[in-house]
Amino acid sequence: MKLSTIQSDAIQELGNIGAAHAATTLSQMLGSTIEMSVPAVTVVDLSHLAEYMGEESAAMVAFELQGDIPHGGYILFYITRESAIRMTNTMLGLTETNRPLSEMDESALLEVGNIMVSAFLDATAELLGFVMLPSPPSLTIDMAHAAMQSLIAQMQEETNEVLLFSTELTCEEYKVDSDIIMMPERSTLNKIIELLENLMKTG
């Protein structure tokens, strides 16, 4: 899988727009400023996945991409366990950081993931004129690699490489560090690239 610089730039720009909307919603939920990284577009060979996602314990809210393509791949809201606790503490008015995650935390994480990913997909869909909807969310709080690997195993199109498209969202005030990671199926990626190329021609 090889992307040209133009394709990679176009996907980055798409990510910028999606992540900006997601950042706005997170900013509203936390009542604080959110910083956003430049989206990273990486093609990862499966045998090297551990270099990107390791053993670290993280909360991940995953969604299947649905809509105009029924099984379009996956998108997830990723937040390290420490950040997750600081974030839910801010939302729930708690202060103790050295505690297990409760059902309340889990609902809060599901809700935040849902709102952010919906905002991300709404914005990108509007730009592309192509409907991408999130499936109901599914949460796991465990080793990042184990979760990611399980999603890749479920992809419809068998592949030795995945495209990870991630944008980091951080909140300096509450020390919250999170990512939105999109992992489209090859055919979905081709469709997105085609739509972006058309946009650039007409725009």
Partner 1 sequence: MIGIGEYRVGSFPMMTIGLGSCIGLVMFDPILNLGAMVHIMLPESSGRMDRPGKYADTAVPLLVRELNALGCKNRSIIAKMIGGASMFEYFGTNLNIGERNAEKVRMMLIEHHIQLAAEDVGGKFGRSVTFFPVENGKVVVRRANGTANNI
**Residues lying near partner 1 in the complex (CB under 8 A):** 46-50, 53-55, 57, 62, 64, 135-154, 158, 160
C-beta closer to partner 1: residue 4 or 47: 47
CB distance 122 to 22 below 8 Å: no
C-beta of 55: minimal distance to partner 1 in Å?
5
C-beta closer to partner 1: residue 144 or 181: 144
C-beta of 174: minimal distance to partner 1 in Å?
23
Query: E strands of 68-100, at which residues?
Result: 73-80
Under 8 Å CB-to-CB from 107, ≥6 apart: which residues? none
C-beta of 163: minimal distance to partner 1 in Å?
16
C-beta of 159: minimal distance to partner 1 in Å?
11
Gap between the Cα atoms of 122 and 63, Å rounded: 14
Q: Radius of gyration (Cα) for the chain, nearest Å?
A: 16
C-beta closer to partner 1: residue 98 or 202: 98
CA distances (Å), 137 to each of 50, 92, 114, in order?
24, 21, 7
C-beta closer to partner 1: residue 61 or 121: 61
